[in-house]
């Protein structure tokens, strides 16, 4: 299904993250947001009215809408696959929030269903399509650090419960710092170093409960069912390696992606953002070169790239195959932490082609 003209979009899930998606998607001329659905139809209606989306209601009503070609799946991780399967069964392409699934088997079933129906499953994060991470990818491809050899990745925070009014899903299967934040960092790594071959890891839990710090549930304690600190060693098919740490138990916030090669070192912007500064150290230079970037898009950029890929009948960059590999890496990390042994990563993927310089999600290319 390639069609012509703008691509109709519907959103399932009217929670916190929907504001970022709706603010951007309603401003991108190549897509047209037609419907917002949620179990809480009043909340869906509120979001639709806020962003001047013409329709709102139930998931069934969204799936029956004839003008929608891409459904943006913003549900909680535990139901990502179930919702995405319903979208495919309705004959529509799906953009799903990360992680695409909680286990390898579900991810494989989802991709097989999409292939059988000649539909697409594309997956967040789309931050790697932003100006910051794309500039870094082009620098590495252009030889600015020579041959990439090693990387350091660090994400640290105290956890989301001080600011999120309903943080429960961060502390059950599909959450924790690895599944919540890992996709941003691991996607950046595989885009620049290629697929991961094997991993080793350790993990820990700081506390069996967390206390909600904001909203109407402030003061309520919630159980912790996942590791809140994960440290991993990754070996790539290329022979490169990386050390990575993901934590919800650090009072000092930190976000770092640093890749070193035979001729220099590149520090990326926060991979959970779409722009920011890069710092490039060339061998023998005492001070780095600072490279500022400004992105024209935000969350939803990948939906636009998917829409244009559908119209052009070419592969999308934020592909389900890439997300499947990142999921495999995360599951393998947890298995390695549990066994104390290296775990081979069975899947593979090819890094997406860099976006052309000046690629703009706010340009009208499909009208």
| Per-residue confidence in pLDDT tens, the chain, 367 aa | 467 899 999 999 999 899 999 999 999 999 999 999 999 999 999 999 999 999 999 999 999 999 999 999 999 999 999 999 999 999 999 999 999 999 999 999 999 999 999 999 999 999 999 999 999 999 999 999 999 999 999 999 999 999 999 999 999 998 999 999 999 999 999 999 999 999 999 999 999 999 999 999 999 999 999 999 999 999 999 999 999 999 999 999 999 999 999 999 999 999 999 999 999 999 888 899 999 999 888 999 999 999 999 999 999 999 999 999 999 999 999 999 999 999 999 999 999 999 998 899 999 999 7
Q: Is residue 81 part of a domain?
A: yes
End-to-end CA distance of the chain: 17
Residue located via tokens 């252009």: 142
Task: Say how far apart CA 230 and CA 329 lie, in whole Å.
Answer: 13
One domain, residues 121 and 132: no
State whether residue 143 is helix, strand or coil: coil
Q: What is the CATH number of the domain that holds 25?
A: 3.40.50.720
- Cβ 135 vs Cβ 293: under 8 Å: yes
3-state secondary structure at position 366: coil
**Residue 211 three-state SS:** strand
**Residue 282 covered by a domain:** yes
Prediction pTM value: 0.95
Return d(Cα 167, Cα 209) in angstroms, integer: 12
At 163, list the tokens. Answer: 């600011």
**How many structural domains comprise the chain?**
2
152 and 168 assigned to the same domain: yes
Is the domain of 117 the same as that of 235? Answer: no
Same domain, 168 and 232: yes
In DSSP terms, 325 is beta-bridged to none
The answer to whether residue 175 is domain-embedded is yes
Whether 76 and 161 share a structural domain: no
According to DSSP, the β-strands at 196-204 and 343-344 are antiparallel
Which residues lie across from 296 on neighbouring strands?
none
Say if 136 falls within a structural domain. yes
Q: Yes or no: say if 333 and 235 are a contact pair by the CB < 8 Å rule.
A: no
- The DSSP secondary-structure symbol of 124 reads S
Backbone dihedral angles phi then psi of residue 185, each to the nearest 5 degrees: -75, -45
Beta carbons of 162 and 103 less than 8 angstroms apart: no
266's enclosing H/E stretch is strand 264-267
CATH of residue 224's domain is 3.30.360.10
Residue 214 and residue 66 share a domain: no
Give the structural domain span for 234: 128-293
Residues 81 and 146 in one domain: no
């Amino acid at each position: 299904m390639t069609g012509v003209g703008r691509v109709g979009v519907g959103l399932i899930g009217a929670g916190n993250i929907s504001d970022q998606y709706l603010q951007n998607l309603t401003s991108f001329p190549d897509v047209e947001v037609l419907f917002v659905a949620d179990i809480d139809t009043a909340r869906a209606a509120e979001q639709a009215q806020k962003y001047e989306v013409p329709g709102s209601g139930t998931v069934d009503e969204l799936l029956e809408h004839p003008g929608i070609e891409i459904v943006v799946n913003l549900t909680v991780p535990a139901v990502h696959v179930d919702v995405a399967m319903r979208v495919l069964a309705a004959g529509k392409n799906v953009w799903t929030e990360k992680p695409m699934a909680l286990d390898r088997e579900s991810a494989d079933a989802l991709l097989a269903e999409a292939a059988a129906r000649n539909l697409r499953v594309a997956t967040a994060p789309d931050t790697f399509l932003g100006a910051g991470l794309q500039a870094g990818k082009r620098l590495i491809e252009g030889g600015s650090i020579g041959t990439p050899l090693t990387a350091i990745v660090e994400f640290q925070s105290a956890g989301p419960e001080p600011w999120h009014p309903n943080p429960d899903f961060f502390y059950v299967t599909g959450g924790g710092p690895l599944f919540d934040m890992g996709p941003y960092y691991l996607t950046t790594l595989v885009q620049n170093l290629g697929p991961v071959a094997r991993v080793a890891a350790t993990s820990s839990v700081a506390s069996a409960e967390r206390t909600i710090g904001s909203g109407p549930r402030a003061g309520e304690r919630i159980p912790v069912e996942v590791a809140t600190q994960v440290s991993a060693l990754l070996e790539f098919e290329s022979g490169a390696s990386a050390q990575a740490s993901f934590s919800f138990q650090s009072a000092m916030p930190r976000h770092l992606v640093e890749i070193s090669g035979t001729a220099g070192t590149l520090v990326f912007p926060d991979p959970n953002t779409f722009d920011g500064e890069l710092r490039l150290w060339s061998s023998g230079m005492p001070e780095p070169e600072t490279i500022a970037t400004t992105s024209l898009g935000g969350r939803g950029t990948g939906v636009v790239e998917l829409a244009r890929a559908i119209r052009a009948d070419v592969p999308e960059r934020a592909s389900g195959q890439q997300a499947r590999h990142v999921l495999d890496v995360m599951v393998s990390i947890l298995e390695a932490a549990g066994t104390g042994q290296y775990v081979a990563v069975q899947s593979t993927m090819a890094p997406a082609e860099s976006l052309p310089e000046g690629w703009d999600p706010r340009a009208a290319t499909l009208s």
